[in-house]
Structure 1
Amino acid sequence: MPEGHTLHRLARRHRTLFGRRPVAVSSPQGRFAGAASAVDGRELRKVDAYGKHLFHVYGPDAIVHVHLGLIGTFSEQPLPLTDPVGQVRMRMVGETHLADLRGPTACELIDAPRMSALLARLGPDPLRRDADPERAFARLSRSSLPVAVLLLDQKVLAGVGNVYRAELLFRHGLDPMTPGRALDRALWTDMWTDLVALMRTGVRRNRIDTVRDEHLPRAMGRAPRRDRHGGEVYVYRRAGLPCLVCGAPVETKELAGRNLFWCPDCQA
Protein backbone atom coordinates (compact mmCIF):
# COMPACT_ATOMS: atom_id res chain seq x y z
CA MET A 1 0.00 0.00 0.00
CA PRO A 2 1.42 3.43 -0.91
CA GLU A 3 2.48 5.39 2.16
CA GLY A 4 1.90 9.07 2.82
CA HIS A 5 4.93 10.39 0.95
CA THR A 6 3.55 8.92 -2.28
CA LEU A 7 0.29 10.86 -1.94
CA HIS A 8 2.10 14.12 -1.20
CA ARG A 9 4.25 13.59 -4.30
CA LEU A 10 1.10 13.00 -6.34
CA ALA A 11 -0.48 16.18 -4.97
CA ARG A 12 2.58 18.21 -6.00
CA ARG A 13 2.67 16.59 -9.41
CA HIS A 14 -1.02 17.16 -10.09
CA ARG A 15 -0.80 20.78 -8.97
CA THR A 16 2.00 21.27 -11.50
CA LEU A 17 0.35 19.44 -14.40
CA PHE A 18 -3.32 20.36 -13.92
CA GLY A 19 -3.69 23.04 -11.26
CA ARG A 20 -5.50 26.35 -11.93
CA ARG A 21 -6.66 25.15 -15.34
CA PRO A 22 -9.76 23.44 -16.74
CA VAL A 23 -9.41 19.67 -16.74
CA ALA A 24 -11.29 17.13 -18.84
CA VAL A 25 -12.39 14.33 -16.50
CA SER A 26 -13.85 11.02 -17.66
CA SER A 27 -14.25 7.44 -16.53
CA PRO A 28 -13.27 5.00 -19.31
CA GLN A 29 -14.15 2.09 -17.02
CA GLY A 30 -17.56 3.63 -16.34
CA ARG A 31 -17.66 3.22 -12.56
CA PHE A 32 -16.98 6.92 -11.95
CA ALA A 33 -18.86 8.21 -14.98
CA GLY A 34 -21.61 10.20 -13.26
CA ALA A 35 -19.25 12.00 -10.89
CA ALA A 36 -16.71 12.57 -13.66
CA SER A 37 -19.29 14.35 -15.77
CA ALA A 38 -20.07 16.64 -12.82
CA VAL A 39 -16.51 18.03 -12.74
CA ASP A 40 -15.56 17.61 -16.39
CA GLY A 41 -14.23 20.89 -17.78
CA ARG A 42 -14.05 22.65 -14.42
CA GLU A 43 -10.96 24.41 -13.11
CA LEU A 44 -8.86 22.31 -10.73
CA ARG A 45 -8.41 24.91 -8.01
CA LYS A 46 -6.53 22.89 -5.40
CA VAL A 47 -4.87 19.52 -4.91
CA ASP A 48 -4.17 18.40 -1.37
CA ALA A 49 -2.96 15.29 0.42
CA TYR A 50 -3.67 14.19 3.96
CA GLY A 51 -2.24 10.87 5.09
CA LYS A 52 -3.11 8.33 2.43
CA HIS A 53 -5.93 10.45 0.97
CA LEU A 54 -5.79 12.70 -2.09
CA PHE A 55 -8.26 15.52 -2.76
CA HIS A 56 -8.85 17.29 -6.08
CA VAL A 57 -10.89 20.43 -5.49
CA TYR A 58 -12.79 21.69 -8.53
CA GLY A 59 -14.42 25.07 -8.64
CA PRO A 60 -16.60 26.09 -7.08
CA ASP A 61 -17.57 23.32 -4.67
CA ALA A 62 -16.78 19.80 -5.91
CA ILE A 63 -14.12 17.53 -4.41
CA VAL A 64 -12.85 14.26 -5.86
CA HIS A 65 -11.55 12.05 -3.05
CA VAL A 66 -9.08 9.29 -3.94
CA HIS A 67 -7.66 6.56 -1.71
CA LEU A 68 -5.27 4.29 -3.59
CA GLY A 69 -5.63 1.36 -1.19
CA LEU A 70 -3.45 -1.67 -1.82
CA ILE A 71 -3.15 -1.61 -5.61
CA GLY A 72 -4.27 1.82 -6.78
CA THR A 73 -1.96 3.78 -9.07
CA PHE A 74 -1.88 7.02 -11.03
CA SER A 75 0.05 6.95 -14.29
CA GLU A 76 0.85 10.12 -16.20
CA GLN A 77 2.05 10.79 -19.71
CA PRO A 78 2.39 13.78 -22.03
CA LEU A 79 -0.19 14.43 -24.72
CA PRO A 80 -1.30 13.49 -27.36
CA LEU A 81 -4.12 11.30 -26.10
CA THR A 82 -3.82 7.54 -26.25
CA ASP A 83 -6.47 4.90 -25.72
CA PRO A 84 -6.90 3.81 -22.08
CA VAL A 85 -5.11 0.61 -21.11
CA GLY A 86 -6.75 -1.62 -18.50
CA GLN A 87 -9.50 -0.62 -16.12
CA VAL A 88 -9.09 3.15 -15.89
CA ARG A 89 -11.42 4.44 -13.17
CA MET A 90 -10.70 8.11 -13.85
CA ARG A 91 -8.84 9.95 -16.59
CA MET A 92 -7.72 13.57 -16.24
CA VAL A 93 -6.63 15.48 -19.35
CA GLY A 94 -4.98 18.86 -19.07
CA GLU A 95 -3.14 21.15 -21.44
CA THR A 96 0.03 19.07 -21.67
CA HIS A 97 -0.53 15.75 -19.85
CA LEU A 98 -3.05 13.10 -18.99
CA ALA A 99 -3.30 11.01 -15.81
CA ASP A 100 -5.04 7.65 -15.49
CA LEU A 101 -6.20 6.23 -12.17
CA ARG A 102 -6.47 2.45 -11.82
CA GLY A 103 -7.50 0.19 -8.96
CA PRO A 104 -8.23 2.66 -6.15
CA THR A 105 -10.09 1.72 -3.00
CA ALA A 106 -12.02 5.00 -3.25
CA CYS A 107 -12.68 7.43 -6.07
CA GLU A 108 -15.72 9.49 -5.22
CA LEU A 109 -17.25 12.92 -5.48
CA ILE A 110 -17.76 14.53 -2.07
CA ASP A 111 -18.57 17.95 -0.65
CA ALA A 112 -16.77 20.05 1.95
CA PRO A 113 -18.72 18.71 4.98
CA ARG A 114 -17.93 15.11 4.00
CA MET A 115 -14.27 16.00 3.54
CA SER A 116 -14.20 17.63 6.97
CA ALA A 117 -15.82 14.56 8.54
CA LEU A 118 -13.26 12.29 6.87
CA LEU A 119 -10.31 14.39 8.05
CA ALA A 120 -11.71 14.54 11.58
CA ARG A 121 -11.27 10.78 11.85
CA LEU A 122 -7.57 10.93 11.00
CA GLY A 123 -4.57 11.53 13.21
CA PRO A 124 -1.91 14.12 12.39
CA ASP A 125 -0.03 13.78 9.11
CA PRO A 126 3.74 14.23 9.69
CA LEU A 127 4.11 15.78 6.24
CA ARG A 128 1.72 18.63 6.94
CA ARG A 129 2.89 21.84 8.53
CA ASP A 130 -0.25 22.02 10.65
CA ALA A 131 0.35 18.57 12.18
CA ASP A 132 0.22 18.35 15.98
CA PRO A 133 2.31 15.49 17.41
CA GLU A 134 0.59 15.91 20.78
CA ARG A 135 -2.64 14.62 19.24
CA ALA A 136 -0.88 11.40 18.32
CA PHE A 137 0.81 11.10 21.71
CA ALA A 138 -2.53 11.57 23.48
CA ARG A 139 -3.92 8.52 21.67
CA LEU A 140 -0.74 6.51 22.12
CA SER A 141 -0.47 7.21 25.83
CA ARG A 142 -4.04 6.09 26.51
CA SER A 143 -3.71 2.70 24.86
CA SER A 144 -2.47 -0.67 26.09
CA LEU A 145 -2.04 -1.88 22.51
CA PRO A 146 1.50 -2.41 21.17
CA VAL A 147 3.14 0.64 19.65
CA ALA A 148 3.62 -1.39 16.46
CA VAL A 149 -0.16 -1.67 16.13
CA LEU A 150 -0.89 1.93 17.03
CA LEU A 151 1.56 3.41 14.51
CA LEU A 152 -0.45 1.84 11.67
CA ASP A 153 -3.76 3.12 13.02
CA GLN A 154 -4.66 6.07 10.78
CA LYS A 155 -6.65 7.56 13.67
CA VAL A 156 -3.33 7.87 15.52
CA LEU A 157 -1.05 8.85 12.63
CA ALA A 158 -2.13 9.56 9.06
CA GLY A 159 0.12 8.36 6.28
CA VAL A 160 2.39 5.96 8.15
CA GLY A 161 2.49 2.47 6.65
CA ASN A 162 4.30 -0.78 7.25
CA VAL A 163 7.72 0.38 6.07
CA TYR A 164 7.90 3.58 8.09
CA ARG A 165 6.45 1.74 11.11
CA ALA A 166 9.15 -0.93 11.15
CA GLU A 167 12.00 1.45 10.40
CA LEU A 168 10.98 4.09 12.94
CA LEU A 169 10.80 1.51 15.73
CA PHE A 170 14.22 0.16 14.78
CA ARG A 171 15.90 3.56 14.56
CA HIS A 172 14.78 4.31 18.11
CA GLY A 173 15.55 0.88 19.56
CA LEU A 174 11.96 0.32 20.62
CA ASP A 175 10.48 -3.12 21.22
CA PRO A 176 7.48 -3.27 18.84
CA MET A 177 5.32 -4.83 21.56
CA THR A 178 5.80 -1.93 23.99
CA PRO A 179 2.34 -0.72 25.10
CA GLY A 180 1.47 2.73 23.88
CA ARG A 181 0.88 3.94 27.42
CA ALA A 182 4.49 3.00 28.29
CA LEU A 183 5.95 5.27 25.62
CA ASP A 184 8.04 8.08 27.08
CA ARG A 185 7.05 11.57 25.92
CA ALA A 186 10.65 12.61 25.24
CA LEU A 187 11.16 9.49 23.14
CA TRP A 188 7.98 10.21 21.21
CA THR A 189 9.19 13.75 20.51
CA ASP A 190 12.40 12.31 19.05
CA MET A 191 10.46 9.72 17.05
CA TRP A 192 8.12 12.34 15.61
CA THR A 193 11.00 14.61 14.57
CA ASP A 194 12.72 11.64 12.93
CA LEU A 195 9.54 10.53 11.19
CA VAL A 196 8.96 13.98 9.71
CA ALA A 197 12.50 14.03 8.32
CA LEU A 198 12.26 10.48 6.92
CA MET A 199 8.94 11.12 5.19
CA ARG A 200 10.14 14.41 3.71
CA THR A 201 13.11 12.53 2.30
CA GLY A 202 10.63 10.03 0.86
CA VAL A 203 8.78 12.84 -0.91
CA ARG A 204 12.01 14.18 -2.42
CA ARG A 205 13.42 10.82 -3.51
CA ASN A 206 10.19 8.95 -4.27
CA ARG A 207 11.38 6.03 -2.19
CA ILE A 208 11.84 5.17 1.46
CA ASP A 209 15.43 5.49 2.72
CA THR A 210 15.97 5.04 6.46
CA VAL A 211 19.59 3.87 6.80
CA ARG A 212 22.11 6.24 8.34
CA ASP A 213 25.24 7.12 6.40
CA GLU A 214 27.49 4.76 8.36
CA HIS A 215 25.31 1.78 7.42
CA LEU A 216 24.92 2.52 3.71
CA PRO A 217 26.27 -0.08 1.23
CA ARG A 218 29.37 1.89 0.33
CA ALA A 219 30.30 2.50 3.97
CA MET A 220 29.80 -1.16 4.91
CA GLY A 221 31.13 -2.69 1.70
CA ARG A 222 27.88 -4.56 1.06
CA ALA A 223 25.65 -4.90 -1.96
CA PRO A 224 22.78 -2.40 -2.31
CA ARG A 225 19.33 -3.58 -1.42
CA ARG A 226 17.33 -4.98 -4.32
CA ASP A 227 13.62 -4.88 -3.69
CA ARG A 228 10.63 -3.55 -5.62
CA HIS A 229 10.00 -1.11 -2.76
CA GLY A 230 13.42 0.47 -3.36
CA GLY A 231 15.45 2.36 -0.81
CA GLU A 232 17.86 1.30 1.91
CA VAL A 233 16.18 0.03 5.08
CA TYR A 234 17.24 -1.64 8.31
CA VAL A 235 14.63 -4.35 8.89
CA TYR A 236 11.66 -4.10 6.51
CA ARG A 237 11.43 -7.26 4.36
CA ARG A 238 14.84 -8.39 5.67
CA ALA A 239 13.61 -11.37 7.71
CA GLY A 240 16.43 -13.84 8.42
CA LEU A 241 19.12 -11.47 7.16
CA PRO A 242 21.71 -10.05 9.56
CA CYS A 243 20.92 -6.75 11.22
CA LEU A 244 23.06 -4.00 9.70
CA VAL A 245 24.00 -2.79 13.18
CA CYS A 246 24.46 -5.87 15.39
CA GLY A 247 24.38 -8.83 13.01
CA ALA A 248 21.49 -10.67 14.69
CA PRO A 249 18.95 -12.21 12.29
CA VAL A 250 16.02 -9.91 11.63
CA GLU A 251 12.75 -11.43 12.81
CA THR A 252 9.23 -11.22 11.47
CA LYS A 253 5.71 -12.14 12.49
CA GLU A 254 2.18 -11.17 11.61
CA LEU A 255 0.69 -8.53 13.85
CA ALA A 256 -2.82 -7.15 13.35
CA GLY A 257 -2.88 -8.50 9.82
CA ARG A 258 0.44 -6.97 8.71
CA ASN A 259 3.97 -8.35 8.63
CA LEU A 260 6.16 -6.85 11.33
CA PHE A 261 9.97 -6.80 11.07
CA TRP A 262 12.40 -6.07 13.90
CA CYS A 263 15.83 -6.84 15.35
CA PRO A 264 15.52 -8.84 18.59
CA ASP A 265 18.81 -7.44 19.93
CA CYS A 266 18.70 -3.78 18.91
CA GLN A 267 15.05 -3.56 19.93
CA ALA A 268 15.20 -5.68 23.07
Structure 2
Amino acid sequence: MPEGHTLHRLARLHKRRYAGAPVSVSSPQGRFAAEASRLDGRVLVSAEAHGKHLFHHYGPQGTVHVHLGLYGTFGEAKLPASAPVGQVRMRLEGRTHWTDLRGPTRCELLDEAQVDAIKARLGPDPLRADADPDRAWARISRSRTSIAALLMDQSVLAGVGNVYRAEVLFRHGVPPLLAGRELDRALWDDMWADLVALMRDGVRVGRIDTVAPEHLPEATGRAPRQDRHGGEVYVYRRAGEECLVCGTSVAHADLVGRNLYWCPACQPA
Protein backbone atom coordinates (compact mmCIF):
# COMPACT_ATOMS: atom_id res chain seq x y z
CA MET A 1 0.00 0.00 0.00
CA PRO A 2 1.42 3.45 -0.89
CA GLU A 3 2.61 5.42 2.11
CA GLY A 4 1.81 9.04 2.86
CA HIS A 5 4.62 10.59 0.83
CA THR A 6 3.17 9.04 -2.34
CA LEU A 7 -0.24 10.62 -1.76
CA HIS A 8 1.33 14.01 -1.07
CA ARG A 9 3.32 13.73 -4.30
CA LEU A 10 0.11 12.96 -6.17
CA ALA A 11 -1.71 15.87 -4.53
CA ARG A 12 1.07 18.27 -5.55
CA LEU A 13 1.16 16.89 -9.08
CA HIS A 14 -2.61 17.07 -9.57
CA LYS A 15 -2.76 20.56 -8.09
CA ARG A 16 -0.05 21.73 -10.45
CA ARG A 17 -1.46 20.01 -13.55
CA TYR A 18 -5.22 20.38 -13.11
CA ALA A 19 -6.25 22.88 -10.44
CA GLY A 20 -7.60 26.32 -11.31
CA ALA A 21 -9.30 25.37 -14.59
CA PRO A 22 -12.21 23.27 -15.84
CA VAL A 23 -11.43 19.56 -16.19
CA SER A 24 -13.04 16.69 -18.01
CA VAL A 25 -14.08 13.92 -15.63
CA SER A 26 -15.33 10.53 -16.78
CA SER A 27 -15.55 6.93 -15.64
CA PRO A 28 -14.78 4.54 -18.51
CA GLN A 29 -15.42 1.61 -16.18
CA GLY A 30 -18.80 3.06 -15.21
CA ARG A 31 -18.59 2.62 -11.44
CA PHE A 32 -18.05 6.36 -10.92
CA ALA A 33 -20.14 7.52 -13.87
CA ALA A 34 -22.94 9.36 -12.03
CA GLU A 35 -20.48 11.31 -9.89
CA ALA A 36 -18.20 12.04 -12.85
CA SER A 37 -21.12 13.53 -14.81
CA ARG A 38 -21.72 16.03 -11.98
CA LEU A 39 -18.07 17.13 -12.06
CA ASP A 40 -17.38 17.06 -15.79
CA GLY A 41 -16.45 20.54 -17.00
CA ARG A 42 -16.16 21.95 -13.47
CA VAL A 43 -13.11 23.70 -12.03
CA LEU A 44 -10.85 21.59 -9.85
CA VAL A 45 -10.20 24.06 -7.04
CA SER A 46 -7.40 22.24 -5.23
CA ALA A 47 -5.93 18.87 -4.29
CA GLU A 48 -4.59 17.77 -0.92
CA ALA A 49 -3.54 14.67 0.98
CA HIS A 50 -4.08 13.63 4.57
CA GLY A 51 -2.24 10.45 5.44
CA LYS A 52 -3.07 7.87 2.79
CA HIS A 53 -6.14 9.76 1.58
CA LEU A 54 -6.28 12.04 -1.48
CA PHE A 55 -8.90 14.77 -1.88
CA HIS A 56 -9.84 16.63 -5.09
CA HIS A 57 -11.89 19.67 -4.13
CA TYR A 58 -14.50 20.99 -6.60
CA GLY A 59 -16.05 23.68 -4.42
CA PRO A 60 -19.86 23.44 -4.12
CA GLN A 61 -19.89 20.34 -6.33
CA GLY A 62 -18.13 18.37 -3.60
CA THR A 63 -14.85 16.56 -3.10
CA VAL A 64 -13.57 13.38 -4.70
CA HIS A 65 -12.05 11.15 -2.01
CA VAL A 66 -9.56 8.53 -3.18
CA HIS A 67 -7.94 5.81 -1.10
CA LEU A 68 -5.66 3.69 -3.26
CA GLY A 69 -5.58 0.70 -0.92
CA LEU A 70 -3.36 -2.19 -1.99
CA TYR A 71 -3.98 -2.09 -5.72
CA GLY A 72 -4.96 1.45 -6.69
CA THR A 73 -2.74 3.41 -9.10
CA PHE A 74 -2.73 6.66 -11.02
CA GLY A 75 -1.20 6.79 -14.50
CA GLU A 76 -0.57 10.10 -16.22
CA ALA A 77 0.60 11.36 -19.61
CA LYS A 78 0.44 14.41 -21.84
CA LEU A 79 -2.56 15.06 -24.06
CA PRO A 80 -3.99 13.81 -26.34
CA ALA A 81 -5.38 11.03 -24.18
CA SER A 82 -5.28 7.48 -25.46
CA ALA A 83 -8.19 5.05 -25.33
CA PRO A 84 -8.83 3.62 -21.84
CA VAL A 85 -7.04 0.37 -21.07
CA GLY A 86 -8.37 -1.94 -18.36
CA GLN A 87 -10.74 -0.97 -15.58
CA VAL A 88 -10.40 2.82 -15.37
CA ARG A 89 -12.48 4.05 -12.43
CA MET A 90 -11.91 7.76 -13.10
CA ARG A 91 -10.30 9.69 -15.94
CA LEU A 92 -9.26 13.32 -15.48
CA GLU A 93 -8.30 15.52 -18.43
CA GLY A 94 -6.91 19.02 -18.05
CA ARG A 95 -5.21 21.59 -20.23
CA THR A 96 -2.02 19.64 -20.92
CA HIS A 97 -2.26 16.24 -19.21
CA TRP A 98 -4.63 13.40 -18.42
CA THR A 99 -4.62 10.78 -15.67
CA ASP A 100 -6.39 7.46 -15.13
CA LEU A 101 -7.26 5.95 -11.74
CA ARG A 102 -7.42 2.16 -11.53
CA GLY A 103 -8.23 -0.23 -8.72
CA PRO A 104 -8.74 2.10 -5.74
CA THR A 105 -10.32 0.97 -2.50
CA ARG A 106 -12.31 4.22 -2.47
CA CYS A 107 -13.29 6.68 -5.18
CA GLU A 108 -16.33 8.64 -4.05
CA LEU A 109 -17.87 12.09 -4.22
CA LEU A 110 -18.40 13.54 -0.74
CA ASP A 111 -19.76 16.72 0.77
CA GLU A 112 -17.81 18.91 3.19
CA ALA A 113 -19.18 17.22 6.31
CA GLN A 114 -18.23 13.78 5.04
CA VAL A 115 -14.69 14.95 4.24
CA ASP A 116 -14.38 16.47 7.70
CA ALA A 117 -15.53 13.18 9.23
CA ILE A 118 -12.78 11.25 7.44
CA LYS A 119 -10.12 13.72 8.54
CA ALA A 120 -11.42 13.63 12.12
CA ARG A 121 -10.78 9.88 12.24
CA LEU A 122 -7.15 10.33 11.21
CA GLY A 123 -4.18 11.08 13.41
CA PRO A 124 -1.70 13.87 12.68
CA ASP A 125 0.12 13.61 9.35
CA PRO A 126 3.86 14.45 9.57
CA LEU A 127 3.66 16.00 6.10
CA ARG A 128 0.89 18.47 6.90
CA ALA A 129 1.54 21.95 8.27
CA ASP A 130 -1.45 21.60 10.62
CA ALA A 131 -0.15 18.38 12.22
CA ASP A 132 -0.07 18.26 16.00
CA PRO A 133 2.34 15.57 17.29
CA ASP A 134 0.91 16.03 20.79
CA ARG A 135 -2.30 14.36 19.59
CA ALA A 136 -0.36 11.23 18.64
CA TRP A 137 1.63 11.34 21.87
CA ALA A 138 -1.57 11.51 23.93
CA ARG A 139 -2.65 8.17 22.42
CA ILE A 140 0.78 6.54 22.50
CA SER A 141 1.62 7.51 26.08
CA ARG A 142 -1.53 5.88 27.48
CA SER A 143 -1.43 2.68 25.45
CA ARG A 144 -0.31 -0.83 26.35
CA THR A 145 -0.21 -1.62 22.62
CA SER A 146 3.23 -2.02 21.03
CA ILE A 147 4.74 1.06 19.47
CA ALA A 148 5.09 -0.89 16.21
CA ALA A 149 1.32 -1.41 16.05
CA LEU A 150 0.55 2.15 17.15
CA LEU A 151 2.69 3.65 14.37
CA MET A 152 0.61 1.76 11.82
CA ASP A 153 -2.72 2.82 13.34
CA GLN A 154 -3.93 5.62 11.08
CA SER A 155 -6.09 7.03 13.87
CA VAL A 156 -2.91 7.57 15.87
CA LEU A 157 -0.57 8.70 13.10
CA ALA A 158 -1.65 9.24 9.49
CA GLY A 159 0.50 8.35 6.50
CA VAL A 160 3.08 6.09 8.14
CA GLY A 161 3.17 2.62 6.60
CA ASN A 162 5.23 -0.49 7.02
CA VAL A 163 8.45 0.94 5.59
CA TYR A 164 8.55 4.16 7.60
CA ARG A 165 7.42 2.24 10.68
CA ALA A 166 10.28 -0.26 10.52
CA GLU A 167 12.89 2.31 9.62
CA VAL A 168 12.10 4.99 12.20
CA LEU A 169 12.09 2.38 14.97
CA PHE A 170 15.49 1.12 13.81
CA ARG A 171 16.97 4.59 13.46
CA HIS A 172 16.09 5.35 17.07
CA GLY A 173 16.95 1.95 18.54
CA VAL A 174 13.40 1.29 19.69
CA PRO A 175 12.33 -2.36 20.14
CA PRO A 176 9.14 -2.76 18.11
CA LEU A 177 7.20 -4.57 20.86
CA LEU A 178 7.79 -1.83 23.43
CA ALA A 179 4.45 -0.66 24.83
CA GLY A 180 3.55 2.85 23.80
CA ARG A 181 3.26 4.02 27.39
CA GLU A 182 6.88 2.94 28.02
CA LEU A 183 8.23 5.22 25.31
CA ASP A 184 10.10 8.28 26.53
CA ARG A 185 8.57 11.63 25.52
CA ALA A 186 11.90 13.07 24.35
CA LEU A 187 12.42 9.97 22.22
CA TRP A 188 8.96 10.39 20.69
CA ASP A 189 9.76 14.01 19.83
CA ASP A 190 12.93 12.86 18.07
CA MET A 191 11.02 10.14 16.19
CA TRP A 192 8.38 12.63 15.06
CA ALA A 193 11.02 15.08 13.81
CA ASP A 194 12.75 12.23 11.98
CA LEU A 195 9.49 11.13 10.33
CA VAL A 196 8.86 14.68 9.16
CA ALA A 197 12.33 14.86 7.60
CA LEU A 198 12.27 11.36 6.07
CA MET A 199 8.77 11.74 4.61
CA ARG A 200 9.52 15.19 3.19
CA ASP A 201 12.52 13.68 1.46
CA GLY A 202 10.24 10.92 0.18
CA VAL A 203 7.94 13.52 -1.35
CA ARG A 204 10.91 15.22 -2.97
CA VAL A 205 12.59 12.17 -4.51
CA GLY A 206 9.64 9.79 -4.87
CA ARG A 207 11.08 6.90 -2.87
CA ILE A 208 11.94 5.99 0.71
CA ASP A 209 15.58 6.41 1.70
CA THR A 210 16.50 6.03 5.38
CA VAL A 211 20.19 5.04 5.38
CA ALA A 212 22.85 7.45 6.65
CA PRO A 213 25.65 8.40 4.22
CA GLU A 214 28.20 6.22 6.02
CA HIS A 215 26.05 3.11 5.39
CA LEU A 216 25.28 3.70 1.71
CA PRO A 217 26.65 1.30 -0.94
CA GLU A 218 29.19 3.82 -2.21
CA ALA A 219 30.58 4.21 1.31
CA THR A 220 30.66 0.52 2.30
CA GLY A 221 31.24 -1.18 -1.04
CA ARG A 222 28.12 -3.34 -0.77
CA ALA A 223 25.77 -3.88 -3.68
CA PRO A 224 22.87 -1.42 -3.98
CA ARG A 225 19.50 -2.67 -2.77
CA GLN A 226 17.40 -4.41 -5.39
CA ASP A 227 13.74 -4.17 -4.47
CA ARG A 228 10.57 -2.98 -6.20
CA HIS A 229 10.05 -0.44 -3.41
CA GLY A 230 13.35 1.25 -4.27
CA GLY A 231 15.41 3.27 -1.84
CA GLU A 232 18.11 2.30 0.64
CA VAL A 233 16.74 1.04 3.96
CA TYR A 234 18.13 -0.56 7.11
CA VAL A 235 15.72 -3.40 7.93
CA TYR A 236 12.55 -3.32 5.80
CA ARG A 237 12.30 -6.52 3.71
CA ARG A 238 15.85 -7.46 4.71
CA ALA A 239 14.97 -10.47 6.91
CA GLY A 240 17.96 -12.77 7.37
CA GLU A 241 20.40 -10.28 5.88
CA GLU A 242 23.15 -8.63 7.90
CA CYS A 243 22.30 -5.39 9.70
CA LEU A 244 24.10 -2.56 7.95
CA VAL A 245 25.29 -1.23 11.32
CA CYS A 246 26.20 -4.25 13.47
CA GLY A 247 26.08 -7.31 11.22
CA THR A 248 23.34 -9.13 13.17
CA SER A 249 20.74 -10.95 11.07
CA VAL A 250 17.63 -8.82 10.57
CA ALA A 251 14.62 -10.41 12.29
CA HIS A 252 11.11 -10.81 10.91
CA ALA A 253 7.72 -11.52 12.49
CA ASP A 254 4.04 -10.99 11.82
CA LEU A 255 2.35 -8.25 13.83
CA VAL A 256 -1.35 -7.49 13.39
CA GLY A 257 -1.28 -9.07 9.95
CA ARG A 258 1.69 -7.06 8.70
CA ASN A 259 5.36 -7.94 8.29
CA LEU A 260 7.61 -6.53 10.97
CA TYR A 261 11.38 -6.13 10.58
CA TRP A 262 14.00 -5.14 13.17
CA CYS A 263 17.56 -5.73 14.33
CA PRO A 264 17.65 -7.63 17.67
CA ALA A 265 21.02 -6.09 18.54
CA CYS A 266 20.39 -2.47 17.57
CA GLN A 267 16.83 -2.57 18.99
CA PRO A 268 17.21 -4.69 22.12
CA ALA A 269 14.09 -5.53 24.08
**For the residues of structure 2 that align with 1:214 and 1:139, how far apart are their CA atoms?**
35
Q: Which runs of structure 2 are paired with 1:50-69 in the superposition (5 Å)?
A: 50-69=50-69
What does residue 117 of structure 2 align with? 117
Q: Indicate conservation of the 8 Å contact 1:61/1:112, yes or no.
A: no
Percent of aligned positions that are identical: 69
Task: Give the letter aligned to residue 4 of structure 1.
Answer: G
**For the residues of structure 1 that align with 2:119 and 2:14, how far apart are their CA atoms?**
21
What does residue 208 of structure 2 align with? 208
**For the residues of structure 1 that align with 2:57 and 2:189, how far apart are their CA atoms?**
34
Q: Which runs of structure 2 are paired with 1:1-268 in the superposition (5 Å)?
A: 1-268=1-268
Unaligned runs of 5+ in 2: none
Q: Indicate conservation of the 8 Å contact 2:141/2:182, yes or no.
A: yes
Task: Give the letter aligned to residue 62 of structure 1.
Answer: G
Task: Give the letter aligned to residue 168 of structure 1.
Answer: V
Q: Secondary structure of 2:5's partner? A: helix
Q: Indicate conservation of the 8 Å contact 2:52/2:159, yes or no.
A: yes
Task: Give the letter aligned to residue 38 of structure 1.
Answer: R
**For the residues of structure 1 that align with 2:242 and 2:108, how far apart are their CA atoms?**
45
Q: Indicate conservation of the 8 Å contact 1:25/1:36, yes or no.
A: yes
Deviation at 1:61, TM superposition (A): 3.8
Give the TM-score normalised by the residue count of structure 1. 0.99
Q: Indicate conservation of the 8 Å contact 1:64/1:110, yes or no.
A: yes
Q: Secondary structure of 2:152's partner? A: coil
Deviation at 1:217, TM superposition (A): 0.5
User: Between Structure 1 and Structure 2, how many residues are aligned?
Assistant: 268
Q: Deviations over 1:171-197 (max 9, x none)?
A: 000000000010100000000000000
Q: Secondary structure of 1:254's partner? A: strand
**For the residues of structure 1 that align with 2:130 and 2:109, how far apart are their CA atoms?**
25
**For the residues of structure 2 that align with 1:24 and 1:58, how far apart are their CA atoms?**
12
Q: Indicate conservation of the 8 Å contact 1:42/1:59, yes or no.
A: no
Give the TM-score normalised by the residue count of structure 2. 0.99
Task: Give the letter aligned to residue 161 of structure 2.
Answer: G
Task: Give the letter aligned to residue 32 of structure 1.
Answer: F
Q: Indicate conservation of the 8 Å contact 1:242/1:248, yes or no.
A: yes
Aligned-residue CA RMSD (Å): 0.6
Q: Secondary structure of 2:228's partner? A: coil
Deviation at 1:142, TM superposition (A): 1.1
**For the residues of structure 2 that align with 1:257 and 1:194, how far apart are their CA atoms?**
26
Please identify, of 79-88 and 159-168, the stretch whose mean Cα deviation from structure 2 is larger: 79-88
